[in-house]
Each structure stands twice: as C-alpha cells, then as structure tokens.
Amino acid sequence: MAQLYFYYSAMNAGKSTALLQSDYNYHERGMKTRLLTAQLDNRFGEGRIASRIGLEKLADTFNEDTDLIRWFEQSPDVNCILIDEAQFLTRKQVDDLAVIVDEKNVPVLCYGIRTDFQGELFTGSERLLAIADKLTELKTVCHCGRKAIMVVRMDEHGNALAEGAQVQIGGNERYVSMCRQHYYEALRPK
C-alpha cells in the first residue's frame, strides 16, 4: 500500500541528498521514478535537484499553477514520485498528491523545510504535516551543537532579519539553521 511521506527539517540537514539516495535505490531495483522540484528555486539551474555534497539530477518543475494530477497522467507507470522543496506546494497540490497515493497506489516522498525565517509554517509543509501518512524529521545542528529547528535569514552584513517576504531563495550565504534559543537571540534587537 502506497503512502504519502514528508521528510522535513531546517536547512542543511541533507534533504536533497536523502531524496537523491531514495531515487538511486528505486533505480537500482529497476523501478521508474519521477522527480519534481520548485520552479522558483533555480540556484543550481532550472529543474535541477542538487545536494551540498555534489549529487545532482534533473527534475520536472512545479509552480503554484501546476496541475499535479495532469502531470502524473503524462507518465502514470512510475513506481515512486520524489519531490524536493515541498514547502512550496499549494494545499491543493498536496491534496492531489494524496489522491495519487490513494487512488493510483504510487508512493510520494516529499522533502522540505517546515518553517520559514519567521518561524511560520509554509503552506505545503502545513498541509503535509496534516495529512501525510509518515512524518520524518531530518536533523541538523546549530553552531552550539544542539538540534537546529529554526532558520534565520541574514542580510549581507550577517545581521538576522525579522521581516520580509516569506520566500527569498538562497543558501548558506543567506540562511543559517539554529536551535530555538539561538534563533531568538539572533532576532533580539542589539
């Protein structure tokens, strides 16, 4: 029986690496997968899932208007769907993924960040936390050694930002994963 999985974390926990490893495992067994990533995250090129350790693979892309049922119907003979940057999915898209799991018996593995730099849930993450069959937290660490659960957005001078648009694409140059204590300390006015 297929299930809807959500692997979530703060940044730099190895979500893309884990996704690419799962993809490799399916292919090693002679199975077919489809990969999907957010169109707006083109740091490594459009439609490219890349990990910090050098693994990468091409993928289809989605935006808020992508009809995932129609996308699935273009290649319905897959054994698994793997989605990177799942926090950017809409509520309807997550519900459509559940339909694919339940009605087509195809497992869907979603990987994404749970909360934004203000500690608020992303829409896709919120819906996945609500309806996924399996939830798995991938862990990373704060500079103090404790588990990092928050993400701090930094300006060009290394100062933590408390305001701004929810989505601003960036990597290590813009975001730092921290434990809750250091997250709040970083945001305190100096």
CA nearest to 55, candidates 27, 24, 13: 24
Q: Is 185 an annotated catalytic residue?
A: no
The CA angle 84-89-95, to the nearest 5 degrees, is 115
With left for phi above 0 and alpha for psi between -120 and 50, is residue 63 left, alpha or beta?
beta
140 membership: H or E segment, kind and range: strand 140-141
DSSP per residue over 68-101, as a string? HHHHHHTSTT-SEEEESSGGG--HHHHHHHHHHH
Annotated catalytic residue within 85, 120, 126, 173: 85
With left for phi above 0 and alpha for psi between -120 and 50, is residue 107 left, alpha or beta?
beta
Secondary structure letter of residue 45 according to DSSP:
S
Task: Let me know how many helices (H) and strands (E) the chain has, helices first.
Answer: 5, 13
Orientation of helix 91-104 relative to helix 123-131, angle to 10°: 30
Could you list the active site residues? Answer: 85
